[in-house]
Amino acid sequence: MGGDFPSKPMSLYATIWDASSWATNGGKAKVDYKYEPFATELKDLVLEGCIVDPTEQIPSTNCTDRSAKLLAQDYSYITPERRKSMKFFRERYMYYSYCYDNLRYPVPPPECVIVQSERDLFRDSGRLRQKMKFGGSHSHSHSQTHRKHRPGRSSRRRNKVVGGASKSGRRGSAAAAM
């Protein structure tokens, strides 16, 4: 990045690493590669940056003007209404936060803002301590509690005879009578 970018089209090749051993519900859900290749195309992409020394531990003074310009932009500020919407979404749907994943990141990444009251809701793995603590539902158990009960249907279905035994595993006259 030491000079001007070429005026001809450029391409980038990257690898997508498979994090399904840890990032997808603790490795329970695996990546489905039938959707490959994973490709994207960008048009009129403008990257703004500044030259920095990768060995510096503090932000480069070369970036001060660029950072100030970016921070002054409209997208760098969250209005109270947007903050409220974001809080609602997080409380309703967030069940994992890498910011609170102390096992993977003993020191939280620099972009994380740790809110102690929120932190207390998460395990060291970054997952919620209790389901629905934030008010969202991450299971489908609620659909069974609101299902209308039709007398007799559930017991008939459960005791249906399959290969000489009921689905519930019981043999006998109740299953045979169906």
DSSP string, 111-157: T----HHHHTTB-TEEEBSSTTTTS---SSHHHHHTSPP-TTHHHHH
* Spatial distance between the Cα atoms of 16 and 88, rounded to a whole number of angstroms: 32
Mean pLDDT for the stretch of residues 143-163: 45
pLDDT in tens, 65-107: 666 676 666 666 788 998 899 888 888 888 889 999 999 999 9
Position 52 in a domain: yes
pLDDT exceeds cutoff 70 at 60: no
The whole-angstrom separation of Cα 29 and Cα 25 is 6
β pairing state of 161-162 and 96-101:
unpaired
Q: For residue 37, give every residue at least 6 positions away whose Cβ sits within 8 Å of its Cβ, in sequence order, or none.
A: none
Q: Is the dihedral of CA 120, 125, 130, 134 positive or negative?
A: positive
Q: What is the DSSP letter of 47?
A: -
pLDDT for the residue 149: 47
Q: Specify the number of domains making up the chain.
A: 1
Q: Is residue 13 part of a domain?
A: yes
- Residue ranges of alpha helices (H) inside the chain are 64-72, 80-93, 116-119, 141-145, 153-158, 173-176
Residue 47 included in any domain: yes
Q: Please indicate, yes or no, if residue 128 is contained in any of the structural domains.
A: no
Average pLDDT value for the chain: 68
Domain span at residue 56 reads: 8-77
pLDDT tens per residue across span 97-136: 999 999 999 999 888 989 898 899 899 999 998 865 444 4
- Alpha carbon distance 144, 130 (integer Å): 20
pLDDT of 84 reads 92
